[in-house]
Amino acid sequence: MAFEFGSVLSAAAISKASRFSGYPPFHFVGGNIDEPTVPVEALADAISKVIRDQGHAMAKYGMNSGPQGYLPLREFVCNCLQGRTGIAATPEEVLLTSGSLQAMDLVNRVLLDKGDVVLLEAANYSGALSRLDALGVDYAGIELDQDGMRMDALERVLSELAEAGRKPKYIYTIPTVQNPTGSVMPVERRREMLALAKAYDVPVFEDDCYADLVFSGERPPAIHALDDDQRVIYCGTFSKTIAPALRVGYLVAPWSLLSSVLPLKTDAGSGALEQMVLAEYLPEHFDDHVSGLLPMLTAKAAALCDALDEHFGESVEYDRPVGGIYLWVSLPENVDTDRLFQVALEQGVEINPGSQWTVDGTANKHRMRLCFGHPPIDNIREGIARLADICFEEFGVPVRSGNVARD
């Protein structure tokens, strides 16, 4: 009797969600951040003030600022980027978005057609890969090392494409706290990337979502800041420093591109309330707030590494994080992390299997990404201990954990 929607779904409607049932006890995924550090008191004060002062303007789509978003926040983004990244941008070159995911969607929408090709780091943010898949866009993964995307590999692929009469629509890079490997690309390599981009006449799409979370507080200039040709599109976010659920990101691009992006942003504006509260809160508080996060994240990263050392011992390899909220871990080759993901989830531990964070999934079948931004330290320790037991049960490694030998 009920109408059968299943018989009229579009070609895009390929998956079905299950009902939300909360989070597993040990949740090493998702880019969530530390709950206690969300600055709720200061945000409450800020929002209370600014909504009384400015809130009537919410009666208009775009308030008094138009489609690029709340002007005071765009002004803050410009000032902030100048200081932190070296980028010199004007508010006209900033578009406030509903998270950096929307920035990525808009860049894709304005530049990509089915059959285009893009280049990106060989291990990458699963959300970037799934978007390219959904768009029918080809992509080639460029080899990484401990300093990020390798320029010899980039040059080789650009050259091969050129010989085949093709040119990538952009080079997508996460140069500062690469997702998932955590590397920070040195400045010399950034300049090499720009030189190659120029030689092959290709733009660069720089994603700096985690860049504020370098533990030392020191970071190279953004690729955008080193560029003289206006060929870099840049995106960032406040999701990882303030709170992901706010959904405030930004795209920085020349007006020549933004003017083509704006007609494609058909949502009648990103949320005004969060833009107003951040414009009020951030100028006074952002630097101190971020500085306050870094020791906490350093401690969580250390706790995760210590727990891995204790429970997995020689069975894992990783580079200690220098920033961000995740760790990229290599397990022995016989460990299939897709399988590990499944059995671990059944037992209350969620990890990111390497295959979903890789252009060529098979290369990272024995790797996993573990997010440490959200769980408290004791939960990290307990979760890794449990993961080691689960892994041993399934794959026979690790044999030793702490003082206990498994059999």
Which parts of 258-277 interact with a second copy (CB under 8 A)? 258-264, 266-274, 277
Q: Does 257 bind a second copy (CB under 8 A)?
A: yes
> Which one of 61-69, 181-189, 211-219, 364-372 is the stretch in contact with a second copy (CB under 8 A)?
61-69
Min separation Cβ 275 and a second copy, Å: 9
Distance CA(208)–CA(202), nearest Å, equals 19
Q: Does 378 bind a second copy (CB under 8 A)?
A: no
Q: Does 90 bind a second copy (CB under 8 A)?
A: no
Q: Which is nearer to a second copy, 23 or 400 (CB)?
A: 23
* Contacting a second copy within 98-137 (CB under 8 A): 98-99, 101-102, 105, 109-113, 116, 127, 130-131
Min separation Cβ 51 and a second copy, Å: 5
Q: Does 24 bind a second copy (CB under 8 A)?
A: no
Distance CA(110)–CA(264), nearest Å, equals 7
Residue 180: cis peptide before it, omega within 30 degrees of 0: yes
DSSP secondary structure letters along 203-224 = -EEEE-TTGGGBTTS--PPPHH
Number of residues that bind a second copy (CB under 8 A): 101
Identified binder of a second copy from the candidate list 28, 33, 341, 372, rule CB under 8 A: 33
* Contacting a second copy within 178-237 (CB under 8 A): 201, 203, 228-231
Q: Which is nearer to a second copy, 98 or 401 (CB)?
A: 98
Beta bridge partners of 139: 118
Distance CA(78)–CA(347), nearest Å, equals 46
Distance CA(315)–CA(302), nearest Å, equals 18
- 125 contacts 357 by C-beta, under 8 angstroms: yes
Distance CA(63)–CA(90), nearest Å, equals 20
> Which one of 10-18, 143-151, 153-161, 175-183 is the stretch in contact with a second copy (CB under 8 A)?
10-18
Q: Which is nearer to a second copy, 130 or 159 (CB)?
A: 130
Q: Does 300 bind a second copy (CB under 8 A)?
A: no
Q: Does 64 bind a second copy (CB under 8 A)?
A: yes
Element (H, E) at 217: none
Identified binder of a second copy from the candidate list 61, 115, 156, 188, rule CB under 8 A: 61
Min separation Cβ 5 and a second copy, Å: 4
Nearest partner of 38 among 285, 211, 321, judged by Cα: 285
Reduced to 3 states (helix: H, G, I; strand: E, B; else coil), residue 88 is coil
- 34 contacts 293 by C-beta, under 8 angstroms: yes
Q: Does 342 bind a second copy (CB under 8 A)?
A: no
Alpha carbon of residue 286 to chain centroid? 20
* Contacting a second copy within 155-184 (CB under 8 A): 169
Residue 351 structure tokens: 């990890």
